[in-house]
Amino acid sequence: MATTLETGHRINLEKAAPGLKRVRIGLGWKVNAAEGQAFDLDSSVFLCRKNASDDPVMISNAHFVYYNHTTSPDGAVVHSGDNRTGDKDGDDEVITVDLARVDAEVVEMPIVVTIHEAEARKQTFGRVTDAYVRVYNDETNEVIAEYDLDEDYSDKTALQFGSLYRRDGEWRFQAVGAGFKLNLATFIRKLGGTV
Protein backbone atom coordinates (compact mmCIF):
# COMPACT_ATOMS: atom_id res chain seq x y z
CA MET A 1 0.00 0.00 0.00
CA ALA A 2 1.32 3.43 -0.95
CA THR A 3 2.38 5.92 1.69
CA THR A 4 0.70 9.31 1.29
CA LEU A 5 3.17 12.09 2.05
CA GLU A 6 2.57 15.67 3.10
CA THR A 7 4.94 18.59 2.50
CA GLY A 8 8.25 17.95 4.24
CA HIS A 9 7.59 14.27 4.92
CA ARG A 10 10.23 11.68 4.05
CA ILE A 11 10.19 7.96 3.37
CA ASN A 12 12.96 5.37 3.33
CA LEU A 13 12.19 3.72 -0.01
CA GLU A 14 14.32 0.64 0.61
CA LYS A 15 12.57 -0.12 3.91
CA ALA A 16 9.16 0.48 2.35
CA ALA A 17 9.98 -1.81 -0.60
CA PRO A 18 12.69 -4.34 0.38
CA GLY A 19 14.87 -5.39 -2.55
CA LEU A 20 14.07 -2.20 -4.46
CA LYS A 21 16.30 -1.83 -7.53
CA ARG A 22 14.62 0.70 -9.81
CA VAL A 23 12.21 3.53 -9.10
CA ARG A 24 9.94 5.35 -11.50
CA ILE A 25 8.99 8.88 -10.56
CA GLY A 26 5.72 9.86 -12.18
CA LEU A 27 4.77 13.52 -12.34
CA GLY A 28 1.30 14.72 -13.25
CA TRP A 29 -0.80 17.86 -13.51
CA LYS A 30 -3.73 19.48 -15.22
CA VAL A 31 -3.47 22.87 -16.93
CA ASN A 32 -6.28 25.41 -17.14
CA ALA A 33 -4.94 27.44 -20.05
CA ALA A 34 -6.93 29.87 -22.17
CA GLU A 35 -8.15 28.50 -25.49
CA GLY A 36 -5.31 28.36 -27.99
CA GLN A 37 -2.68 29.39 -25.43
CA ALA A 38 0.48 27.28 -25.20
CA PHE A 39 1.22 26.21 -21.62
CA ASP A 40 4.09 23.75 -21.32
CA LEU A 41 5.42 22.33 -18.05
CA ASP A 42 8.88 20.75 -18.07
CA SER A 43 10.28 18.37 -15.46
CA SER A 44 13.96 18.12 -14.69
CA VAL A 45 16.19 16.20 -12.30
CA PHE A 46 19.58 17.41 -11.07
CA LEU A 47 22.21 14.89 -9.95
CA CYS A 48 23.94 16.61 -7.04
CA ARG A 49 26.68 16.25 -4.50
CA LYS A 50 26.73 18.35 -1.32
CA ASN A 51 28.90 21.44 -0.98
CA ALA A 52 30.68 22.60 2.20
CA SER A 53 27.42 24.18 3.42
CA ASP A 54 25.58 20.86 2.89
CA ASP A 55 23.56 22.34 0.00
CA PRO A 56 22.95 20.30 -3.17
CA VAL A 57 25.20 21.30 -6.10
CA MET A 58 25.10 19.78 -9.58
CA ILE A 59 28.17 17.66 -10.28
CA SER A 60 28.38 19.08 -13.81
CA ASN A 61 26.04 20.38 -16.52
CA ALA A 62 25.92 16.82 -17.90
CA HIS A 63 24.23 15.83 -14.62
CA PHE A 64 21.12 17.85 -15.50
CA VAL A 65 18.52 15.49 -16.99
CA TYR A 66 15.50 16.89 -18.84
CA TYR A 67 13.61 16.59 -22.15
CA ASN A 68 16.61 17.69 -24.25
CA HIS A 69 19.20 15.61 -22.36
CA THR A 70 17.31 12.49 -21.32
CA THR A 71 20.03 10.32 -19.76
CA SER A 72 22.56 10.93 -16.97
CA PRO A 73 26.28 10.26 -17.64
CA ASP A 74 26.15 7.02 -15.60
CA GLY A 75 23.05 5.86 -17.53
CA ALA A 76 21.12 5.45 -14.27
CA VAL A 77 18.62 8.29 -14.69
CA VAL A 78 16.36 8.43 -17.77
CA HIS A 79 13.76 11.10 -18.57
CA SER A 80 10.71 10.12 -20.66
CA GLY A 81 10.74 13.33 -22.73
CA ASP A 82 8.50 16.37 -22.98
CA ASN A 83 4.72 16.20 -22.68
CA ARG A 84 3.68 19.63 -23.97
CA THR A 85 0.02 19.57 -22.94
CA GLY A 86 -0.50 17.70 -19.64
CA ASP A 87 -3.82 16.43 -20.96
CA LYS A 88 -3.24 12.69 -21.02
CA ASP A 89 -4.41 10.24 -18.36
CA GLY A 90 -1.82 9.07 -15.85
CA ASP A 91 1.66 10.47 -15.42
CA ASP A 92 2.56 13.36 -17.73
CA GLU A 93 6.33 12.97 -17.45
CA VAL A 94 8.38 10.12 -15.98
CA ILE A 95 11.90 9.82 -14.61
CA THR A 96 13.30 6.30 -14.13
CA VAL A 97 16.23 5.68 -11.79
CA ASP A 98 18.32 2.50 -11.61
CA LEU A 99 19.45 2.94 -8.00
CA ALA A 100 22.46 0.59 -8.17
CA ARG A 101 23.90 2.40 -11.21
CA VAL A 102 23.75 5.92 -9.73
CA ASP A 103 27.26 7.38 -9.45
CA ALA A 104 28.53 7.15 -5.84
CA GLU A 105 29.17 10.91 -5.84
CA VAL A 106 25.44 11.61 -6.24
CA VAL A 107 23.74 12.11 -2.87
CA GLU A 108 20.62 14.05 -3.88
CA MET A 109 18.40 14.48 -6.93
CA PRO A 110 16.01 17.45 -6.70
CA ILE A 111 13.00 17.00 -9.00
CA VAL A 112 11.82 20.32 -10.40
CA VAL A 113 9.02 21.39 -12.74
CA THR A 114 9.17 24.75 -14.54
CA ILE A 115 6.84 26.57 -16.93
CA HIS A 116 8.36 26.99 -20.38
CA GLU A 117 8.66 30.73 -21.23
CA ALA A 118 6.64 31.61 -18.11
CA GLU A 119 7.82 35.21 -18.00
CA ALA A 120 7.17 35.96 -21.67
CA ARG A 121 3.75 34.28 -21.56
CA LYS A 122 2.90 35.73 -18.12
CA GLN A 123 2.08 32.26 -16.78
CA THR A 124 2.26 30.86 -13.24
CA PHE A 125 1.32 27.70 -11.39
CA GLY A 126 -1.97 29.41 -10.57
CA ARG A 127 -3.32 27.74 -13.73
CA VAL A 128 -2.05 24.30 -12.71
CA THR A 129 -4.23 21.91 -10.69
CA ASP A 130 -3.99 18.33 -9.46
CA ALA A 131 -0.18 18.35 -9.45
CA TYR A 132 1.34 15.23 -7.92
CA VAL A 133 4.42 13.04 -7.74
CA ARG A 134 4.31 9.26 -7.36
CA VAL A 135 7.26 7.00 -6.63
CA TYR A 136 6.83 3.49 -8.06
CA ASN A 137 8.77 0.28 -7.74
CA ASP A 138 9.59 0.08 -11.46
CA GLU A 139 9.78 -3.72 -11.42
CA THR A 140 6.40 -4.38 -9.76
CA ASN A 141 4.60 -1.16 -10.81
CA GLU A 142 3.49 -0.68 -7.18
CA VAL A 143 3.22 2.87 -5.88
CA ILE A 144 5.54 3.22 -2.86
CA ALA A 145 4.78 6.86 -2.06
CA GLU A 146 2.57 9.64 -3.41
CA TYR A 147 2.38 13.35 -2.76
CA ASP A 148 -0.27 15.82 -3.93
CA LEU A 149 0.88 19.44 -4.24
CA ASP A 150 -2.29 21.13 -3.06
CA GLU A 151 -0.90 24.42 -1.73
CA ASP A 152 -1.39 27.78 -3.45
CA TYR A 153 1.47 28.36 -5.91
CA SER A 154 -0.38 31.04 -7.91
CA ASP A 155 2.59 33.42 -8.14
CA LYS A 156 5.27 30.74 -8.74
CA THR A 157 6.91 29.74 -12.02
CA ALA A 158 8.95 26.77 -10.72
CA LEU A 159 8.20 24.03 -8.20
CA GLN A 160 10.44 21.50 -6.57
CA PHE A 161 8.06 18.56 -6.32
CA GLY A 162 10.42 16.37 -4.33
CA SER A 163 13.90 15.04 -3.83
CA LEU A 164 15.37 11.55 -4.15
CA TYR A 165 18.37 11.29 -1.85
CA ARG A 166 20.82 8.83 -0.36
CA ARG A 167 21.46 8.64 3.39
CA ASP A 168 23.38 5.94 5.26
CA GLY A 169 23.61 3.99 2.00
CA GLU A 170 19.83 3.86 1.51
CA TRP A 171 17.60 5.74 -0.93
CA ARG A 172 14.86 7.97 0.45
CA PHE A 173 12.33 10.42 -0.94
CA GLN A 174 11.22 13.76 0.47
CA ALA A 175 8.01 15.56 -0.51
CA VAL A 176 9.28 19.14 -0.92
CA GLY A 177 6.53 21.28 -2.51
CA ALA A 178 8.67 24.43 -2.63
CA GLY A 179 7.66 27.17 -5.07
CA PHE A 180 9.99 29.70 -6.69
CA LYS A 181 9.76 32.73 -8.96
CA LEU A 182 12.54 31.39 -11.18
CA ASN A 183 12.98 30.20 -14.75
CA LEU A 184 14.86 27.01 -15.61
CA ALA A 185 18.12 28.84 -16.40
CA THR A 186 18.08 30.56 -13.00
CA PHE A 187 17.36 27.25 -11.29
CA ILE A 188 20.34 25.64 -13.05
CA ARG A 189 22.59 28.48 -11.85
CA LYS A 190 21.13 28.18 -8.33
CA LEU A 191 22.32 24.56 -8.26
CA GLY A 192 25.80 25.50 -9.47
CA GLY A 193 25.41 24.83 -13.19
CA THR A 194 26.07 27.14 -16.12
CA VAL A 195 23.72 28.19 -18.91
Ordered by where they begin, the domains of the chain are 3-191 (2.60.60.30)
The model's pLDDT over 118-133, given as tens digits with 9 standing for 90+, comes to 988 889 999 899 999 9
Q: Rounded to an integer, what is the distance from CA 138 to the centroid of its chain?
A: 16
- The HSE-up count of residue 127 (CA atoms within 13 Å, CB side) is 20
The model's pLDDT over 146-168, given as tens digits with 9 standing for 90+, comes to 999 988 899 999 999 999 999 99
Q: Are 23 and 96 in contact (CB under 8 A)?
A: yes
pLDDT of residue 1: 75
Enumerate residues 6+ apart whose C-beta is below 8 A from 145.
2, 3, 4, 5, 11, 13, 16, 134, 135, 173, 175
Q: Are 119 and 158 in contact (CB under 8 A)?
A: no
